[in-house]
Structure formats: structure tokens, C-alpha cells
Amino acid sequence: MQRSAALVFLLTVFACSRTPREPETRETALNAEPAERPSSSNTAPPSVAASVLSAPAETAEQPFRFPGAERVVALGDLHGDLASTREALRLAGAVDDEDRWIGGKLVLVQVGDQLDRGDDEPEILELLERLAADATKSGGALHVLNGNHEVMNVAGDLRYVTEDGFRDYAATAVPTGKNLPSGVQAAARGRAAAFLPGSPIARKLALRNTIAIVGDTLFAHAGVLPKHVRYGIGRINDEVRRFLRGESAALPEIAGGEEAPIWTRAYGGPAPATETCRELEAVLASLAVKRLVVGHTVQKSGITPACNDRVFRVDVGLSDYYGKNATQALEIRATGVKVLASR
């Protein structure tokens, strides 16, 4: 009787008593510092029963739940910096000095944002594609997620492309029968054409997931909220996939809005709100995982945990745009979680 009453209470809390917050606009999100959150407590209550979120069956066009491994390593945002990308891959034990896969059965997860802010985007995309194939041949895996910057480029939002990033794709012609987004300047036409929905590049991005589960860890570029679980992880992955392939004109709000898995800042601040940590407990319990790993919001002091070590933030601003902060990666083993650092 007491357990039933407790469950009813939790349902009421999630459905009815959320404090509304002013949404952060995507136009300012990328340059904004994490908002300060109440810091009196970030301790989450005991795990909430998985049934609370009523997660739908895990059906999707492509799998998003993968087996774990002896070593799982997560890398944060790369933002067009090939030198820092190589350094991070070496730190993870994935490649040698010649960029050859030496990770064996290592499972590597890169949480999105390879594009924008840097000049080496084609090289990074090519390197990650090759390494994914080599990792599979060796019995390991490389899972590359889509972040907000991948989706922005396909949507024609090129505000964060460098001059070199425009030159890299300047020779790309607009396909017959296709139109560029309105307002695209002459210097940006090639870039916009290269990333049009349904283009070869966009179709390669569509092969990726937006949210993935590896072993007992949940990965997303920015975060996973209770409403994402209720909507369906596989369904969100498929919505993004269809948009990238040009099969849908726009993303639904839950996949592309301010609180989407590629945009939310709920977990990025120094001390996420107590309510946020409580909701994260419900998310993890519903998906039968132990932790969430996200990027998106730069952690200037390095990889940081929050919500009683239930979420790890791995975007350390390792690219040149952010001043090449210390290169770090998150290693996940059955015995625990450890930060790997180059210096």
C-alpha cells in the first residue's frame, strides 16, 4: 500500500509540479555560458521505478542499444580541429601516430559536433568514417553521434562555419531540382549545397544515431529528458534520420527544439537543478542504465560529473576555437569511471 502511494506521488510530481523555465533560444545557446542553477543540493533520490516513464518498445529503423565492452571511452565535441581530434583518439588508445586503429575491442563513442568553428571538417569526417570500419573489423566499435551542429548545417544554418569551411565545399553545385535555403550568400552556396537534406554528406550523417546506449551507459549530445523517453528513443533517432535524408521537411519540436537531445542545457551547468537530477534518475531507471554522458556545454575545468555521478559532461573545449583546453576522455569500465587526461 505504501509503495503504491509512493508511485502515485512520483507520477504526480513529474506530471503536474514542474517549475516553468524561460527557454534558451538556439540562436544564443552556442555562445552562452551555462546558466547558474541552485546549488544547495544536487543529490538525486533513490532510483525511480522504470514504469514511471512508460517507455515505449525499443523499435527503430536502426539499432541504438549496443553491447558494452571491457573498455568504453567517450570523447566530447571536436569542432573542426583535426590535431586535437587525433590527440583525443590517441589518448583513448584508439589510434597510433599514423591514425591506424589499434584499439582492438575498444568501444569509442564521440558525442557529436564534429562540424563548425574549425577548419578541418572534411578530414575529421573522413577519419571517423574510416576508423569506424576499422574498429568493426577488429571486434571493437566507433559510435559517432549527431550533435546540433551537424543538424544545423543540414538545415542551412551556417552561422558558425569558418571561411575555410566555406572554401572546402565551394565547388559543390546545387543539384538539379533542388533549392538552397533563402538568403544564402554567394560564398556559402557550395557549403549549403553540400549539406542539403538528402545530399551524400547528409545521408552519411543519417546513418548515425542521435541517442545511443552502450552497455550500461546512455549517450546523447546534449541530454535525455523524461519526455524523450516517453516519445521514444528510437522514434527520435528516426525523426532526425528522415530529416537528414530529406524525407521530412523539418524536425518535430521534441527532436529539434530548445529541449531536444541535441540542444538542451539541463545538464550543462555547474550544479543541475535538484528536479533535473530527480528526472535523470527516472530516465536512467526506465532505460535500465547507470549513467548519462553528454557534450554540448563546455566544461572549462575538464570533464565533470553531476547529479551524484549520474551524468558526466565530456565537452572540454579541446578545439582551437576554445583555446585548446586540456585534452580529456572518459573511460568506462565495469570497475568504474575514470577521466583520461593528456596534461
Q: Which domain holds residue 282?
A: 53-155+197-341
* Local confidence band at 31 (pLDDT 50, 70, 90 cut-offs): very low
Q: In CATH, what number is assigned to the domain containing residue 227?
A: 3.60.21.10
List pLDDT tens digits, range 176-217.
989 998 889 999 999 999 999 999 999 999 999 999 999 999
Task: Indicate whether 245 belongs to any domain.
Answer: yes
* Local confidence band at 343 (pLDDT 50, 70, 90 cut-offs): low
127 pLDDT more than 70: yes
Task: Indicate whether 76 belongs to any domain.
Answer: yes
149 is catalytic: yes
Counted domains in the chain: 1
Task: Indicate whether 29 belongs to any domain.
Answer: no
* Local confidence band at 165 (pLDDT 50, 70, 90 cut-offs): very high
Residues 79, 143, 149, 296: which is the catalytic one?
149
Task: Indicate whether 14 belongs to any domain.
Answer: no
Task: Indicate whether 18 belongs to any domain.
Answer: no
Task: Indicate whether 170 belongs to any domain.
Answer: no
What's the rounded Cα separation, in Å, for the pair 110 and 100? 17
How large is the average pLDDT for residues 129-142?
Answer: 98
pTM of the model: 0.85
What pLDDT does 25 receive?
Answer: 39
46 pLDDT more than 50: no
What pLDDT does 56 receive?
Answer: 78
Task: Indicate whether 184 belongs to any domain.
Answer: no
Task: Indicate whether 120 belongs to any domain.
Answer: yes
Strands 107-110 and 311-313: unpaired
What's the N-to-C CA distance of the chain in angstroms?
A: 55
